[in-house]
Structure 1
């Protein structure tokens, strides 16, 4: 009996020793961050960014991870070319000076086996602020088409654009902005 217990303990230790974090590369074709704000009280406007890159490190066993996302602010998509240009001007994203938006995690929070929140630093227009992304859904499983390990999530946070030097027309165009990030990522080197 002692030998069996010792063998099981060793097997458990060996599995833990060999478990490692997996790095996933963001799939830009299934990741499209979007932001929503109220426009002069008339309606809520929702716009997105067409180009996103980055990596996610996920260790299900150790319940740890990290997120590093870069959004190309010049890829803002309002559905209207003139408005795309207006939002990239100095009063808003100022993409001539600040072409990217970044999020770098400081902590990943789990509830059981699921990621439920990611704390980190959001940088927009050269200003960095701590934010928490609330993860509303999370999935880790082999991708049915790519036949590789993959993860996906939907995350949301709320920011004030005045805190990022983007306060033109506030409060008439709402200061409060909802930022949503639907993301999918595929494991590096996993077949």
Structure 2
């Protein structure tokens, strides 16, 4: 066999070994997400909301041309959870409305400014009370659940139903706490909570999107 043929066979052999070996190394070295959508990782107990990694997003239509977006952060509260009986779960969270933020300084200031000449504010006013949601019913099905409860906002309490999804569970790599994450969404009418300014030019309907991480206590 000539040198050219030997070189070709050697190259094929090396390539074959590399192709078989490299994926093994990649699989070993690839970083893994701490949280996985695996219910078997969830343990029973009381969990507290991680305020630094929990957000409530809201969206309203402005004049029918575009949408306003905003965020409430620093969510506090608890989740009592037993994976053997998910329908018995209890959620109680508080949202500091005064910490609302938007991409527009003018809009954020408008949401929190006092009423003109001592009148009622257009939206929340300068010192709004925190909002609170307390669940009254949980109906779980697979990775999803329908969560019904009482939402208190602007001093008014109304029933609200969320469609929720289990996102993942695992140990937080920094504080080592067992953590579970959920996302949920719903739509409310702000007029139900006495926030009536500029309807219908700013839509009465408000879409809410929730992403909350809970750490086991």
2:185 to 143, 153, 156: 156
Secondary structure at the counterpart of residue 89 of structure 2? strand
TM-score, normalised by the number of residues in structure 1: 0.81
> What residue is the counterpart of 2:74 in the other structure?
51
Q: Is the 8 A contact 2:144 2:165 kept in 1?
A: no
Aligned twin of 1:176: 205
In structure 2, what is the equivalent of residue 42 of structure 1?
A: 65
Task: Return the TM-score normalized by structure 2.
Answer: 0.71
Would you say the 8 A contact 1:93–1:124 is kept in 2?
no
Taking structure 1 as reference, are residues 181 and 54 closer, same or farther at Cα in structure 2, changes over 3 Å only? same
Instruction: Give RMSD over aligned pairs.
Output: 1.7
- Runs of 4+ residues over 6 Å off in structure 1: none
| Residue number in structure 2 paired with 1:12 | none
Higher helix share: 2
**Total equivalences in the alignment:** 167
Find the structure with the greater CA-based Rg. Answer: 2
- Alpha-carbon distance between aligned partners in 1 of 2:91 and 2:202, rounded to the nearest angstrom: 31
Can you give the 5+ residue segments of structure 2 that lack an aligned partner in the other structure?
1-42, 114-120
Q: Which residue of 1 aligns with 2:111?
A: 87
* 1:83-162 paired onto structure 2 within 5 Å: 83-89=107-113, 90-96=121-127, 98-112=128-142, 114-162=143-191
Q: Whose strand fraction is larger, Structure 1's or Structure 2's?
A: 1
